[in-house]
Amino acid sequence: MKSNPDPVILKWIRELETVRLDCASPGEMRVGLKAGFNPSEFLYANTMKAKADLQDAIMIGASVTTTDSVEGVEQIAETYKDIGFSNSMKVIIRLAVDDSQSRSPFSLKYGATDGDWWPILKALDQHKIPFAGLSFHVGSASANPEAFTKAIRLCREFQQEMKRQVPIVDIGGGFLPDAKSFASTAASIRHEIERWDQEESFSPSLWIAEPGRFFSAPTQTLSVPIVFKKSSHDRVRYVLDESVYGQFSSIIFDHAQPPWTVYRNGDRITEQTAKKAFFFGRTCDSLDLIAIQDKAPEYEVGDEFVFPWMGAYTSASATTFNGFARPKKIYLEGEEVTSTFDAEVPDPSVTYPIETKSSVSLSLQPSLSYRLS
């Protein structure tokens, strides 16, 4: 849902029957309802939510949510009291895990450390809110299979130290969409699950994963032309008919490095020149820089840039800044639909703005700083 809430994609996923939805808000739940999902198929996986949103989710029919704090438990109890309902919400505790090798870590914002475990359980017991299990997230686009195994071991430690059976474990997402990485990560996870089954008297009866990127990344290919070209003696500036405010928002928010293939009249362009090329987005913002390529081919207005694997965290966070419309979507379905693009590995001569990180503090108050990366 989060990676791509496209209603057609959700409809396809719904037809798999075994898939449920991880939702961050009542708004996402309503999108899921329109796609044919039932409220019982939603996991309200947002540990820091507004009370009004929690109440809305309860009215929709969500019955399982996550928390990582005593405050979150108190919020659930107070919300049910305010609306005059008896509690029907089960709680999954989200644990803080090592996400240091992920593209987008979450531990700064989410996760209960071992010192938080007992107070949260105590609060659940006090308010008679059922404990449903544990969850974690090793960070978005994690490249380390060991991150998952260490996190599963931490869940086992929770069960041992808290002396609480863990019926459900949600291992989160962060899976890379390429087959080799996924197979390696899946094998590590499966091995650790089997160890738990064999070595503990009680093991989880339900394992949940959130492979949003894995499902959505291959579903979209973006095709955009060059709409303007400006040359100088040592460089060329191109404007693509998209922007980092649109489908390339993943470069900023998801640290994506989208590879491309370029075509002119149906033929692939590969010949390189000595000039450096800057590829800007179409907005008026000078920071709307998509990529920089050393020794780029000599492109022309109208050349078509094709970006495969553009389904995850692209259109989900795209805006219409400057009044530019979102691109037209063409849906293809069937066994005859296959990928014809081989630009799956970023060109080493291409750099992306997000790679050049800088930390700038704007001292509006002595105790405040704002990080611009």
DSSP symbol at 102 = S
Query: What percentage of the chain exceeds 70 in pLDDT?
Result: 89
For residues 134 and 170, the answer to whether their CB atoms sit within 8 Å is: yes
Task: Look at residues 352, 373, 371 and name the one whose alpha carbon lies nearest to residue 281.
Answer: 352
Cβ neighbourhood burial of 328 (10 Å; 0-12, 13-18, 19+): exposed
Task: Look at residues 126, 101, 99 and name the one whose alpha carbon lies nearest to residue 111.
Answer: 99
| Lowest mean pLDDT segment, chosen from 29-38, 58-67, 100-109, 111-120 | 100-109
Task: Look at residues 168, 90, 96 and name the one whose alpha carbon lies nearest to residue 133.
Answer: 168
- Using the structure block, give the residue that is written with the tokens 């037809």: 15
For residues 212 and 177, the answer to whether their CB atoms sit within 8 Å is: no
DSSP symbol at 304 = E
In tens, the pLDDT along 319-336 reads 999 999 999 999 887 655
For residues 99 and 138, the answer to whether their CB atoms sit within 8 Å is: yes
**Which is higher by pLDDT, 358 or 331?**
331
Q: What's the pLDDT at 349?
A: 66
Going from N- to C-terminal start, the domains of the chain cover 7-216, 220-355
Q: What confidence category does residue 372 fall into, taking pLDDT thresholds of 50, 70 and 90?
A: very low
> Which range, 8-12, 13-17, 42-46, is most confident?
42-46
Cβ neighbourhood burial of 313 (10 Å; 0-12, 13-18, 19+): buried
Q: What's the pLDDT at 324?
A: 96
What is the architecture of the domain spanning 220-355?
Beta Barrel (2.40)
- Using the structure block, give the residue that is written with the tokens 């979507």: 329
Give residues with Cβ within 8 angstroms of 42, minimum separation 6. 20, 21, 23, 29, 32, 57, 60, 61, 62, 64
For residues 217 and 307, the answer to whether their CB atoms sit within 8 Å is: no
In angstroms, rounded to a whole number, what is the distance separating the alpha carbons of residues 365 and 8?
47
In tens, the pLDDT along 234-293 reads 899 999 999 999 999 999 888 888 999 999 999 999 887 878 999 999 999 999 999 999
Q: What's the pLDDT at 360?
A: 36
Q: What's the pLDDT at 341?
A: 42
Q: What confidence category does residue 342 fall into, taking pLDDT thresholds of 50, 70 and 90?
A: very low
Task: Concatenate the DSSP letters of all residues of 197-261 into one string.
Answer: HHH-SS--SEEE---HHHHHGGG--EEEEEEEEEE-SSEEEEEESS-TTTTTHHHHHS------E
For residues 159 and 165, the answer to whether their CB atoms sit within 8 Å is: yes
Fold of 7-216: TIM Barrel (3.20.20)
Is it the case that residue 364 has pLDDT exceeding 50?
no
In angstroms, rounded to a whole number, what is the distance separating the alpha carbons of residues 224 and 263?
10
In angstroms, rounded to a whole number, what is the distance separating the alpha carbons of residues 306 and 285?
23
Three-state DSSP state, 165: coil
Is it the case that residue 114 has pLDDT exceeding 50?
yes
Q: Could you list the active site residues? A: 284
Residue 279 pairs in a beta bridge with: 238, 291
CATH topology agreement for domains 7-216 and 220-355 = no
Q: What confidence category does residue 25 fall into, taking pLDDT thresholds of 50, 70 and 90?
A: very high
**pTM for the complete prediction?**
0.86
Q: What confidence category does residue 368 fall into, taking pLDDT thresholds of 50, 70 and 90?
A: low
Q: What's the pLDDT at 359?
A: 35
For residues 245 and 319, the answer to whether their CB atoms sit within 8 Å is: yes
CA torsion, points 171, 176, 180, 182, in degrees to nearest 10? Answer: 20
Is it the case that residue 142 has pLDDT exceeding 50?
yes
Residue 268 pairs in a beta bridge with: 263
Q: What's the pLDDT at 350?
A: 76
